[in-house]
Chains A and B, each alone.
Chain A
Amino acid sequence: MEKVVDIKRVTKKFGDFKALDEVDFSVRKGEVFGFIGPNGAGKSTTIRILLGILKATEGQATIFGKDVWNDSMEIHRQIAYVPGDVNLWPNLTGGEVIDLFAKLRGGRQTKRREELLERYKLDPTKKCRTYSKGNRQKVALVSALLSEADLYIFDEPTSGLDPLMEQTFQEDVRNLRQEGKSVLLSSHILSEVEKLCDRVGIIRDGTIIEQGSLEELRHLTRHHVLLETTSSLDGLRDVEGVHDVNQDGNTYRFQVNAEQMDQVIKFASQYPIQKFESAPPTLEDLFMRHYEGTDEVVE
């Protein structure tokens, strides 16, 4: 698979503070890559290095095979970026900003402009001073979606949008993927990443601690299981791979390591089961597993 974004052992220091420590990941052509991590973990710093706004202290980062610092002009012709905190000029209107960005990127697209303004319900005649955070974000989103870029970088793009707009945005990201575009989506909203992303990278304290497809990552963590029987399940707690058993009458809720699901089913089949439900771990589970200490990490 062709790598659109390739970051190799990138370290960024601000004075003595190490914001990124050998960050290493890649975004493949045509995929939506989710970049998750809490505030201050290094998401925005990584993105700013990719944009050539910050210079990596060590390591190498490329987009379309070109160096992000030295060849930034060429790269920027083919990317679109939406920051998490959109700061615009208070005395320009949204429409003016959209035109300015289009022109700076090269060309002044008008074809989809009205359609996108309508779609995101944005009034282009208002001065940016009067826009709320969500509306400023829409200005940047409309501008990004107007561009015919090959790579879209979104840094928490929906943090100011209402749920309806969030859905509109998610649809647009799916459309981009169908058109074969690549997307780097940094987000706090794990359900959004889960819905949209093919692969995920989790960053903590400036280091990528997990990276892969959701399937692969799920394999590393526990499923939620609910069992209802007519008799009590003695010995369930002793089955290998079973954790956090919660008993309510004859209803059992517990978690099972993905690899040991087989043993649980074999054990349960000895009993008269009325109900068996198994849910894969959510991204939130994956995420929390990395952030709630490491004492229970599954082998």
Chain B
Amino acid sequence: MSELFKRSFQLFKLTIRRDRIRASIWIFALAFFTLIIPGSFQNLYPDQQDRDAMAVTMENPAMVAMVGEGDLDNYTIGAMSAHQMVLITAVFVGIMSILLFVRHTRTDEEEGRVELIRALPVGRLATLHATTMYVVFVNVVLAVLVAIGLMVQPIESLGIEGALLYGATLGGTGICFTAVTALFTQLSDSSRGATGWSIGLLLFFYVLRAIGDIGSEALSLFSPLGWTTKTMIFTENHWWPIFLMLAFSFVVLLLAYRLNAKRDLEAGLFPSKPGKARASNNLLSPFGLAFRLQRTAFISWAVGMLLLGISYGSVLGDLDSFFQGNEMVEKILVQEEGYSIAEQFISIIMTVMGMIATIPALISMNKLYGEEKKSRLELLYAKPVSRKTMMGSYLLVAVINAFVSVILAGIGLWAAGSTVMDDPVSFGTMIGASLAYIPAMFVMIGLSALLIGLKPNVVSLTWVYLVYSFIIVYMGNLFQLDEWFSNVTPFGHVSQLPVDEFEVVPFFGLIGVAIVLVVAGLTFYSKRDIQG
């Protein structure tokens, strides 16, 4: 038996050595994200009155579906932080565990590294065991850091037991998904498949819990993410979900180990189905190819934007009670006469969603350079395919992405908003507010096209520019910055409907700028050397 595990510990050390930076970044980012929350809630909601108002908002079924149940009658800073943050953080801990696990098992197996290891006097289960130890270790370190970090904060409601439980909940959820991934890496025969199945199951558990939390309680108990929300950290401090998590992980891991000991290297237990022998007609053009390569991402972003719209929309009904007298919010929302807080909120939310919707559009455009770096364009350019056709195809995909993302966000916002608001905003207004962002998004796409044509190695500057735009436009009022700062970003010229009047000149001005950028991009791109 011990033969199977031989030299696991050496491999464990090797794994840590390989991932010391990657794992540190994950741990640091997740811990940081968790630990800044109580302090900022302290600033945002200094009085119990504010927090109780927030608690009322959180009774909304949409919020329960999103963040899970909490102890709303006893909504201290601690209870509030845990209620609003622990589930979403746990989801990211789960994703971290999945990615780290697949990286050291299936990916290594695909790349032939496991074969190299297995040829040495190393146990058959050593790779799996070392990876399990490693990902569990990462989760434990995260749990300890979070627990200590919460304990040392000078906030009364953050008790020691709650702090320990918070860490244990995050770590425990991570270990559950470590086990789930261990199982899927045996079942699927590719790293993509294993990652896809694991993340798919994570989403399934999330939705199962959401349905359970708003309706049939029992369903939540069948989801590890349901257990996550049942801990009631900083109020009742339930430990039983943690034991349930560990028991679940142990059983699933046992099954994974058994399967691993039996299966052949590079084999999976799911049958891998053959792909298409012939291409469908949709694929057979530069545009068809560009779209096909991004199809999954396109659909995921579309769904994501719709959900984002819906989740913002679902809070529109309670805004007035929620924001009244909150200083921070008042600074961001400069009171405009004649508009309700909800309408002002919509303007701000559209700004945020407009910029988030720019992300998939930019990814689409920048992919043209990504393809070049991977030397996949050389074969295409050896055919009678012009540079302009190729760049044009990626431009078109990016533009479609921009439209779909921003409109779906608007539709989601409208659909959820109109069910919870007493005086809903009309569909036309909401779509208008979304479309107002299109020219600014075109400018971002155009900028990417220009850089790809002129100096492709700095094309990632488009991201820096987007982040800059976000900070300036979103937080501009807060920092009381000079107008100059927002004039240099396209998003600074967008009419923030429905509060602002629609202005024609900047709208078409931005489109004009975008056209100039695209034409310049096409021209330069046709003239330069292609790397591969």
Residues of chain A whose beta carbon lies under 8 Å from any beta carbon of chain B: 48, 51-55, 72-74, 76-77, 79-81, 83, 85-89, 91-93, 95-101, 103-106, 108, 123-127, 129-130, 140, 153
Contacts and interface: CB of A to CB of B under 8 A. Distances in A.
B277 A95 contact: yes
Given A48-B378, A129-B190, A73 B384 contact: yes
Interface string B46-66: 000000000000000000000
B458 to A, nearest CB: 16
Interface in B275-310: 275-279, 283-286, 289, 292-293
Contacts of A74: 384
Contact of A77 (B381, B384, B528): B384
Contacts, number: 107
B337 interface: no
Contact of B275 (A73, A100, A103, A126): A126
B471 interface: no
B226 to A, nearest CB: 34
16 contacts: A53-B382, A72-B381, A73-B386, A74-B384, A76-B381, A76-B383, A87-B378, A87-B532, A96-B279, A99-B278, A99-B279, A100-B279, A104-B383, A105-B383, A105-B384, A125-B274
Contact of B276 (A81, A93, A103, A130): A93
A104 B528 CA distance: 22
Contacts of A124: 277-278
Q: Is the interface of B mostly helix, strand, loop or mixed?
A: loop
A140 B376 CA distance: 12
Contacts of A93: 275-277
B529 interface: yes
Contacts of A53: 378, 381-382, 529-530
A153 B293 CA distance: 27
B289 A55 contact: no
Given A100-B279, A106-B384, 9 more contacts: A53-B381, A77-B384, A83-B378, A87-B375, A88-B379, A89-B376, A93-B277, A96-B283, A103-B285
Contact of A51 (B284, B289, B382): B382
A81 B379 contact: yes
Interface string B384-404: 111000000000000000000
Interface in B384-442: 384-386
A287 B381 CA distance: 32
Contacts of B283: 92, 96, 99-100
Interface of B: 190, 192, 274-279, 283-286, 289, 292-293, 374-376, 378-386, 527-530, 532
Given A93-B275, A93-B277, A100 B382 contact: no
Nearest to A87: B375
Nearest to A125: B274
Contact of A81 (B190, B382, B385): B382
B54 to A, nearest CB: 44
B163 to A, nearest CB: 44
A105 B379 CA distance: 11
Contacts of A95: 275-279
Contacts of A106: 384
A92 B292 contact: yes
A231 to B, nearest CB: 58
A251 to B, nearest CB: 46
Contacts of B274: 123, 125-126
A165 B188 CA distance: 32
B478 to A, nearest CB: 43
B379 A86 contact: yes
B380 A104 contact: yes
A74 B274 CA distance: 37
A104 B385 contact: yes
A80 B383 CA distance: 8
Given A95-B278, A124-B277, A129-B190, A101 B379 contact: yes
Q: Which residue among B275, B374, B375 has the maximum number of chain A CB atoms within 10 Å of its CB?
A: B275
Contacts of B383: 76, 101, 104-105
A123 to B, nearest CB: 8
A70 to B, nearest CB: 11
Nearest to A69: B527
Nearest to A105: B383
Given A87-B375, A100-B284, A127 B381 contact: no
A151 to B, nearest CB: 11
Nearest to A126: B275
Nearest to A83: B378
Given A73-B386, A74-B384, A125-B275, A85 B289 contact: no
Which 10 pairs across A and B sit closest by C-beta, in order of nearness? A99-B279, A93-B275, A125-B274, A81-B382, A103-B284, A96-B279, A95-B277, A76-B384, A104-B383, A87-B375
